[in-house]
Amino acid sequence: MKNNFFFRAMLVMALAFAMAVTGCSNNNNNNRYTDYLDTLGLSTANPTAATLSPFGLETSEFNQIRDASGGGFRGWAIDELDGEGGEFVVMALIMAWTGRSLASFNYVADALEYILGEEIERFVEDGVHIAWGRDYSLIFHPSRIQEDGYFVSAGTMIVLIFPPNGEY
């Protein structure tokens, strides 16, 4: 039952993020908006094995996921994500790319499926492409969106990788 709750929690987080940013206006005034990726504290340095271990990844696997998109890698970060209503907190490895295409999304989704050994489900919600498995969510924004002072550029792709079975 614990795994089922964690699985549903991940889905809720992925959908909440996708829905939160898709119901926005699409004007092009960048002066009033901050790039959402700039708020994540992304690093372009290679993560250590100790950093990746809690997420069930080795350095070579991280590199395979990073390189699967064919370029545009903005960086990675580890962050706490609060659940709906602050009921739970989960750590996530965040990886982000810009200037990507639907083909890049599919390459990264395939790499995640292979490396993490999970079957994935892919779907589109309000124009946002989502692929998710038990321990990750991949989100691709094919068009620019903005809301509440933040924007996500067209072609932005973000993956959230969670510790296996919700353990950190």
pLDDT at residue 102 greater than cutoff 60: yes
Mean pLDDT of the chain: 82
pLDDT at residue 131 greater than cutoff 90: yes
pLDDT at residue 113 greater than cutoff 70: yes
pLDDT at residue 88 greater than cutoff 80: no
Q: Give the long-range contacts of residues 118-125, CB within 8 A, separation 24 or more.
A: 125/15, 125/18, 125/19, 125/22
Sketch the domain layout of the chain as residue ranges.
Answer: 2-166
Tokens of 162: 């969670």
Mean pLDDT of 22-31: 48
Mean pLDDT of 28-54: 87
pLDDT at residue 10 greater than cutoff 80: no
pLDDT at residue 157 greater than cutoff 70: yes
pLDDT value for 117: 87
Rounded-to-integer distance, Cα 76 and Cα 138, Å: 14
pLDDT value for 78: 94
Q: Label residue 80 by pLDDT band (50, 70, 90).
A: confident
Tokens of 119: 């079957």
pLDDT value for 24: 44
